[in-house]
Structure 1
Amino acid sequence: MQQQGETSDRDLVAETLQGRVAAFEVLVQRYQGLVFKFLFHFTGHRGDAEDVTQETFLTLYRKLPQYDPARPLKAWLLTMARHLAISLHRRQAPAPIDPNIIGDLVRDVVAGPEAELLERDDVRIVQEALHHLEDEFREVLVMRYLLDMPLQKVAEALGIPEGTVKSRVFHARNQLREALLSRQNRQAQMAGEG
């Protein structure tokens, strides 16, 4: 959020385009934490998040002449970060998701005693379920629940209507819930047979 007396993103972009490197440094300082947090939750891996954060700002610098000042820079930057993370994801096998972020998501997606069991259970189950979601579903869960972004901001960042975000969140939650509960039921059946 911009403080009173703080230079606007639009002005910083204009100054950067005029060759003032210090203006770009202010933009990096302003958004680096947000971009890293988004990418860390999206990729689930600190090293990947750091690499893609750096790549995002290099890409921003190169593409700054294409920036449309009528759009929020934050949304454009997160869209750029998302595309770069998806490209990375396609180039490599899925990295494990940090176990610290799993509990909150499980509580939001699966209610009741099942959530408590899953939290205590192997975090790998949740990681696998998240990694098996399509990118478009995983990214809305990350943005909505792990980054706690309002639906409108998720829509802006992804460049899609808010109704589409709501639909993707709904479907992603259902797919994740089904995958988690199905796995839990299979384990319970196997334990009962043994």
Structure 2
Amino acid sequence: MSEPTDLDLLQCIARGDQQALHAFYRRFHGVVYQFSLRTLRNGADAADVLNEVMLEVWRRAGTFEGHSQVRTWLLSITRNKSVDLLRRKRPSEPLDEQALEEDPGAVCGLSAGLELDQQGEQVRYCLDKLKDSHRQVVHLAFFEELAYPQIAEIMAIPGGTVKTRMMHAKQQLLQCLRRRLEGRPA
């Protein structure tokens, strides 16, 4: 018997099938958690968002209209829940509204493995230095392997804005990595 598609699971969830929700959770919990973690930078908060998202899937599965992929729809919910949590937790800190609602505009040997690990640490450090909106675009493009139109839909921004954010994020990552490799503060 073949594995059910994402849409099959969602349709079963819409009919109240808890087993389908469990299968959906197993399929997508890592994606939702990692995306939320990139936004919130806090594991406990990302876990809370994961729970909220899956509850929302349970409630709204029947509203999915199929205009996008299930994964895109799910990540849109995740982004919205993450931003909502940021707003609730940091009411006194101004949220970067402009960035959120921007207008158009094979390892050989131990030493090689250690070197890659150190490089990975450098990249993670520089990713953490990006603005939330830039970090989200990078995560969706490189870690979730989504195309720009899907990212635009998830983030509710124009496609041109996705390209602009990606360009700025790449420039900032490159500058940060150069400074780190030269031993200068990033």
Q: Same fold (TM over 0.5)?
A: yes
Q: For the structure 1 residues 102 and 79, does the alpha-carbon distance in structure 2 shift closer, same or farther, using more than 3 Å as the test?
A: farther
Q: Equivalents in 2 of 1:148, 1:10: separation in Å?
A: 18
Alignment match of 1:75 (pick from 65, 68, 72) = 72
- Cα deviations by residue, 1:19-61 (Å, 9 ceiling, x for unpaired): 2221122111111111112222222221111111111111111
Q: For the structure 1 residues 159 and 103, does the alpha-carbon distance in structure 2 shift closer, same or farther, using more than 3 Å as the test?
A: farther
Structure 1: unaligned runs, 5 residues or longer: 95-100, 108-118, 189-194
Q: Does 1:149 align with 2:149?
A: no
Counterpart of 1:45, as a letter, is N
- Cα deviations by residue, 1:128-162 (Å, 9 ceiling, x for unpaired): x43xx2x43232133234x2524334345335454
Structure 2: unaligned runs, 5 residues or longer: 94-116
What TM-score, normalized by structure 2, do the two folds share?
A: 0.66
Quote the residue 1:46 is aligned against: 43
Q: For the structure 1 residues 68 and 148, does the alpha-carbon distance in structure 2 shift closer, same or farther, using more than 3 Å as the test?
A: closer
Quote the residue 1:57 is aligned against: 54
Counterpart of 2:167, as a letter, is F
- Cα deviations by residue, 1:111-140 (Å, 9 ceiling, x for unpaired): xxxxxxxx9xxx5x974x43xx2x432321
Q: Equivalents in 2 of 1:25, 1:79: separation in Å?
A: 20
After superposition, where does 1:39-188 map in structure 2 within 5 Å? 39-93=36-90, 104=120, 107=123, 127=128, 129-130=129-130, 133=131, 135-145=132-142, 147=143, 149-152=145-148, 153-174=150-171
Q: Give the aligned length.
A: 158
Counterpart of 2:147, as a letter, is L
What TM-score, normalized by structure 1, do the two folds share?
A: 0.63
Q: Equivalents in 2 of 1:166, 1:126: separation in Å?
A: 17
Note the aligned Cα RMSD (angstroms).
Answer: 3.6
